Amino acid sequence: MKRILIFAFVIFALICVQKSFAADKAEIGSQINKVKASIEKLKSEVSDTTTFAEDILKAQHYIKLAEDELNKNITLIGSITGSVKSEAVPTINHYISLSELTIAVVKSKVEKMKQENENSGLAKLIPELEAKIKTVEDKNAEIKRLRGIIEKPKEENAQLEKEIAALKNDKANLSAQVETLNASVASLKKELSEKTKAYEHISMENKSLKDQTKTAETQKIADITQMKEQLNNLTKLRDLLWETGKGGFISRVSERDITLIIPRSYFIKNTPKGIGLSPEAERHVHWLSSVMNRFSEYKVVVKVFGFGLPAKNENVKATEQMAKLIKGALVEKGVNASSIEAIGAGDAKPIFSQKAVEENRRVEISFVY
């Protein structure tokens, strides 16, 4: 019956660990669908698909990787709860971020192309305006030349006066046109300057996006390394929990250690000559040593607790001798002595009622990573 309870406790602990590290599939799926919609919208807005085909395919590739990673990392109970393995979430979010960054880069390139086309059109207008200004200046030079011959006889100047009047009228009209053209040129130059600044701003944004992509790649590597380490630790802890569960002892479990609570009589007996190993100790030491050697990366703390009377058999000094006796037996079975710490706890911290004398006389063996 005790073994069944321990097995149920182990299964419950694994489910709790899985649930605490799970993520919501529906929420991640919603993010992926939003990015897909953004890609389709971008494709409909881009007229020159050939120029941006590679970037759009790259965005589609990243979001496909995110979707594949999501589908293959549904947890054991994910089909019911809609949860996803937590170790896969950073990778999925990374691919989503890469797709979004790629979309942003394409939009920036489209805007840059528009700015360059507008700047090209403005640059073509300036020579035409300058040619018109040159025409006005030539007219002014002609007027000046005509004034030089005004001193000729009146009969010769009558026609000239008419021409001069016409030229003056032309001059007035042309002066007005020159002012308008000068204003247009100034406006165009200002607009060209603004477009150039906008182009420089877009270039800076593109550089920022590239830096963000590089940072995201670096973060991805760090996150994956950390997740692999966490997964490896949890896998080792799961295997250790399964192995120690075979002993049928009460245990405490956390994310970094497992503690077995074993009656002291399984290892120690008090005799008139002093403290010694009990008849059952050989079997339990043999089993524990095989577990410790298999999981040698764990540090093992052997802590012996006393309770009741006589005090000389239950105090810190006596329980420390018991702990060292157990450690020595484990070392004889091939366990590395430096990986074992022996502690006598005396009669401190009873975990059962005051009447449960033998239950409080216990050995706690902790596997610490």
**What residues are paired with 303 via a beta bridge?**
343, 364
Could you read off the pLDDT of 321-359 as tens digits, one per residue?
999 999 999 999 999 999 999 999 998 788 888 888 888
Identify the CATH number of the domain in which residue 253 sits: 3.30.1330.60
Identify the CATH number of the domain in which residue 214 sits: 1.20.1270
Co-location of 128 and 165 in the same domain: yes
Co-location of 257 and 293 in the same domain: yes
In the chain, pLDDT over 70 holds for what percent of residues? 80
Co-location of 315 and 274 in the same domain: yes
Co-location of 120 and 15 in the same domain: yes
**What residues are paired with 261 via a beta bridge?**
250, 364
pLDDT of residue 316: 92
Could you read off the pLDDT of 196-227 as tens digits, one per residue?
788 788 778 777 777 887 777 778 777 666 66
| pLDDT > 70? residue 239 | yes
Q: Of the residues 241, 274, 289, which one is the last residue of a structural domain?
A: 241
- Angle at the Cα of 244 (from 239 to 247), degrees rounded to 5? 145
Q: Of the residues 241, 261, 280, which one is the last residue of a structural domain?
A: 241
Tokens of 203: 């270039």
Co-location of 184 and 148 in the same domain: yes
Q: Of the residues 241, 268, 286, which one is the last residue of a structural domain?
A: 241
Co-location of 155 and 22 in the same domain: yes
Per the prediction, the chain carries an average pLDDT of: 81
| pLDDT > 90? residue 153 | no
More confident residue, 317 or 193: 317
Specify the number of domains making up the chain: 2
Co-location of 275 and 314 in the same domain: yes
Could you read off the pLDDT of 284-325 as tens digits, one per residue?
999 999 999 999 999 999 999 998 888 888 899 999 999 999
Could you read off the pLDDT of 34-90 as tens digits, one per residue?
999 999 988 888 866 677 888 889 999 999 999 999 888 876 554 565 678 888 899
User: Which residues span the domain enclosing 127?
Assistant: 2-241
pLDDT of residue 288: 95
Co-location of 237 and 265 in the same domain: no
| pLDDT > 80? residue 148 | no
Co-location of 124 and 12 in the same domain: yes
| pLDDT > 50? residue 28 | yes
> Does the global pTM surpass 0.75?
no
Residue 361 pLDDT grade (very low, low, confident, very high; cuts 50, 70, 90): very high
